[in-house]
Amino acid sequence: MTAVHPLQGQVAAITGAASGIGFASAKAMADAGARVVLIDRDEAALARACAAIGESAVPVVLDLLDAKQCASLLTRTLAIAGQLDIFHANAGLYVGGDLVDADPDAIDRMLQLNVNVVMKNVHNVLPHMIERGRGDIIVTSSLAAHFPTPWEPVYASSKWAVNCFVQTVRRQVFKHGIRVGAISPGPVITSLLADWPAEKLEEAKANGSLIEAAEVAEVVLFMLTRPRGMTIRDVVMMPTNFDL
């Protein structure tokens, strides 16, 4: 029989947690018994998210693109909760469309958050997990990491990099009792789709080719609640009607 609160006694930190997949993931973990540290730069949205989850949610206002703030993620989490069992590296940006039309500054910002910050965050939390002899790290990747999507070469490239990072780090740290995996959803109804062409977004909504953030969170929870001897290294999920 599955435990009613399988994450009871655990502490989770989620980046980009004020909305979308991050919020849905935090809520799912809180409902499963975890104390959740929601990390985001949007203070007002973060306050609303924590209020919606309840007393098990704690906000940490952090701009991950600021190097000093980024480096404080573990310290601030431990100051609040004393330990870290689960880290969900979810924060990300989207740049779509033809490469020739892309803004170089937007490319830099997206690669910094989608790739460099993920690596630095994982680097930050690993010593604590290694010392404790256990931990779970989940990274939000994308279906774009598994297929050369022609409408988003910059974004897809960032997710290919992230998937390589997840698979290589996983092989380094499993001996410490740490599981590392990625969730690779197809199009999810979040603010990241704001840059999609309007006609493409409306078409996807009309034909059922989008996933709800809560559905992604259910898969994240599935990954976290497997027996410790099992690692779900990468879950690719997409709307049934989504056609590459």
Say how far apart CA 50 and CA 28 lie, in whole Å: 13
Say how far apart CA 92 and CA 39 lie, in whole Å: 12
236 membership: H or E segment, kind and range: strand 234-237
Is residue 94 part of the annotated active site? The answer reads: no
Say how far apart CA 142 and CA 184 lie, in whole Å: 4
Looking at the chain, how many residues does it have? 244
* Four-CA torsion 136, 222, 9, 228, nearest 10 degrees: -60
Number of Cβ within 10 Å of residue 139's Cβ equals: 26
Beta carbons within 8 Å of 156's beta carbon, 6+ residues apart: 142, 144, 145, 147, 148, 149
Say how far apart CA 225 and CA 219 lie, in whole Å: 10
Number of Cβ within 10 Å of residue 88's Cβ equals: 28
User: What is the token pair recorded at 80?
Assistant: 């609040």
Q: Which amino acid is at 27?
A: K
C-alpha to C-alpha distances, 136 to 10, 35, 149, 176, nearest whole angstrom: 11, 14, 29, 11
Q: Considering 155, 160, 165, 196, which one is annotated as catalytic?
A: 155
Helix (H, G, I), strand (E, B) or coil at 110: helix
Q: Which amino acid is at 7?
A: L
Residues designated catalytic: 155
